[in-house]
Chains A and B, each alone.
Chain A
Amino acid sequence: MLALHKWKILLILVAANLLLLGCLSVGEIKDWREIDWLDILGEGGISLLSLVWLLLILHSRPAGRVTNFFVAGLAGIFLASFQDTLDEVIRIPDTVSFDQWVESGLMPIGLLLLTYAIYHWHKEQLHINEHLRKRERLFREHRIQDPVTHLGSAEYLRRQLHTELLHHHQQQLPLSLLLLDVDNFAHINRRYGNEEGDRLLQELTELILLNLRRCDLLCRYAGDRFAVLLPNTGETMAQMLAQELANVIRHFAFKTRRHGESVFHSVSIGVALALDESPEHLLARANQALLHAKEKQESDIFLAA
């Protein structure tokens, strides 16, 4: 990402350099004994940290309006504190006033710009949250995300189940869990390679997300097995949603990269209605239902006892 912003970084460094040259041309370097090291540590620390924030933010964001405000704000803070640090080392005569302007003028402007940027970033984040809604419900932890599909992993699902089970039990609401397994997925990996297998998983992820409600949560359990958490959903509704997913996946024509041929897939789905039980127990029942669905040839969907 940093490559996107190289001009901004260069500009800030040039400004810092100009400040240094300006100070050196009008003032003179202080004697060792006059320097207050504690001040240098404090003020130098602020300017160094603001530079780190700046680089981290630039590295994690695409170019755009909000990014520009972040850069302007943090650059202001950095330059003001840098000037402050220079004052500790270089004695500047009272007749010169530009250092005062840089110090006291840039800092509040920088803080204001930063506040403005954070406010807009917050609004932007709300948009992104809306987009991620079916991938994460009320809880975020990037360390337990699956790197291939960017869905939550089984560990994430277990944590979500833990809170949702408690909540639904207290409120006396039904909660259902689907486990969905692609039939003959190993065949795709064997025949077309793991990259195609990964791509199929990614496309299936998008397809399933499109067919879920706003409140539902999709996770990648492991391998070719997905889990869908359906809040406030009873057995009949869960089976209906499962049937819809099975239908839409059966009609999905996956195009292989090399020859563009269409490959069709069927899925088996195990449905389990949550009882008063632990996440592990609910998952075990859903897994059992899925195994039954795989064995029974006439239907793709099996409801757990």
Chain B
Amino acid sequence: MKPWYECDTPCILAHQQPAVLIDLALTRGIDSHRLLRGTGFFYEDILAGKLHIAPRQCYQLLTNIRRLLPSDDTSFLMGHRLFPGNCGAASSALLNAKDLQQALELLTRYRLLLTPLIAPRLHYDADFLYIYWQDTCGANSEWPFLMEMITTALTSLSRWLSGQSLPWRYYFSHHQPRYIEQYQVHLGDHLAFNSHMDAMVIAREYLHTPWINASPSAVILAQRDADAQLAEIGLEGGFLERLYCHLLHNIQRPTSLDQVAASFGMSSATLKRKLGKHQSHFQAQYDQVRKCLALYLINRQGWSNEQVASHLHFHDANNLRRAFKRWTGVTPTVLKAFTL
């Protein structure tokens, strides 16, 4: 199993994506010492171009940004600047993508470079593409800010390079905020809050509209360099993201903490400790996977409660209904009434 990164693994080059946020904050007149207080690094360290920082340091940076720039539009403004970003080869590959499909594949492949804190997971069905945004290392209170930033970033990039605003639909797990106008202006009107998932959905026909900067040879060359960079770092995916994917792939088999720990090559106690370090626990992660999948199967694929119950290893539909009530506050039947 390829190694992953955790919240204290120094794996993010500070002069790349973190610098985009830092520079924007500096142009807003924030003092660099106050901006970086508690992060454990200084502005001068970034300029050397070799500093690797851990996700936890990035969270501290985001906390500082939110405190020093408390306007409602900070996350959205940063989102507009995030892509293609400062990541050298990976950014230039993204900039020259031939269409949305390729851009999303690049974004997924180079997520450690382009978006290390919040990873895209793509899922296709007959008519739609779903981008589920996955927490990599336990963002906790920074999550809504990250979601606002990343959804704006992808919306802004796709709009710029496709030359039209695309009919994205947005699903957020957080409540509708007071400043809904920022979402309307920067994202659009197809918004759903309290959705129990964080996703963007688009009809598949938009995946292959040609983009204005398309340059296949530039993408191939840039990918070669970016792949070399990834190989040098040698990590794939954040700890929580990897755990999520593992649980999702093995959803058809009954799962326990011990089995998962064994697959990750560690003792159950170590797995528990690592989950604790990311401020989570096994049941929460497992429930999250099952909830998200159950919602998809019921709402999008029209499965019956019985089918879902057996797919997710519930004893019967009643058990599923009870679990569902615990996860979302409502039963599957009620939830079905709101079509997503």
By secondary structure, the B interface counts as: helix
The docked-state distance in angstroms from the alpha carbon of A237 to that of B39 is 56
CB distance from A3 to the nearest CB of B (A): 19
Asked whether, in the complex, the Cβ of B27 is within 8 Å of the Cβ of A193, the reply is yes
Question: Which residues on A sit within 8 Å (CB–CB) of B71?
Answer: 147
Contacting pair A287 B189 (CB below 8 A): yes
B274 sits at the interface (CB 8 A):
no
The one of B28, B73, B160, B178 in contact with A190, judged by C-beta atoms closer than 8 angstroms, is: B160
A-contacting 9-mer, from B74-82, B247-255, B282-290: B74-82
Pick the residue among A153, A193, A223 that contacts B185 (CB under 8 A). Answer: A223
Q: Nearest chain-B residue to A224 (Cβ)?
A: B185
- Cα A195 to Cα B27 with chains together (Å): 8
Please report which residues of chain A, range 167-202, place their CB below 8 angstroms from some CB of chain B when the two chains form the complex.
181, 186-187, 189-190, 193-195
A48 at the interface (CB under 8 A from B): no
A contacts with B: majority SS: helix
Q: Which residue on chain A has the smallest CB distance to residue B77? A: A194
**CB proximity of A205 to chain B, nearest CB, Å:** 16
**Is there contact, CB below 8 Å, between A190 and B80?**
yes
A-B Cβ contacts below 8 A, count: 47
Residues 268 to 305 of chain A near chain B (Cβ within 8 Å): 287-288, 291, 294
Query: Measuring CB to CB, which residues of chain A are less than 8 angstroms from any residue of chain B?
Result: 147, 153-155, 181, 186-187, 189-190, 193-195, 221-225, 287-288, 291, 294
Among residues of A, the one whose C-beta sits closest to the C-beta of B155 is A186
- Residues of B at the A interface (CB closer than 8 Å) are 24, 27-28, 71-73, 76-77, 80-81, 156, 159-160, 165, 178-179, 181-182, 184-186, 189
A154–B181 contact, CB under 8 A? yes
CA distance A221 to B80 in the complex (A): 18
* New A-B contacts (13) at CB < 8 Å, excluding given A154-B181, A155-B179, A222-B184: A153-B72, A186-B159, A190-B81, A190-B160, A193-B27, A194-B24, A194-B27, A194-B77, A195-B27, A222-B73, A222-B181, A222-B182, A225-B181
Contacts A/B (CB < 8 Å), 6 sampled: A154-B181, A155-B178, A186-B80, A190-B81, A194-B27, A222-B185
CA distance A187 to B81 in the complex (A): 11
Residue of A nearest to B24 (CB): A194
Q: How far is the CA of A242 from the CA of B81 in the complex (A)?
A: 31
Tell me the smallest distance from the CB of B315 to a CB of chain A, in Å. 45
| Neighbouring A residues of B185 by C-beta, 8 Å | 181, 221-225
For B186, what are the chain A residues with a Cβ–Cβ distance below 8 Å? 222-223
- Nearest Cβ on chain A to B151's Cβ, whole angstroms: 14
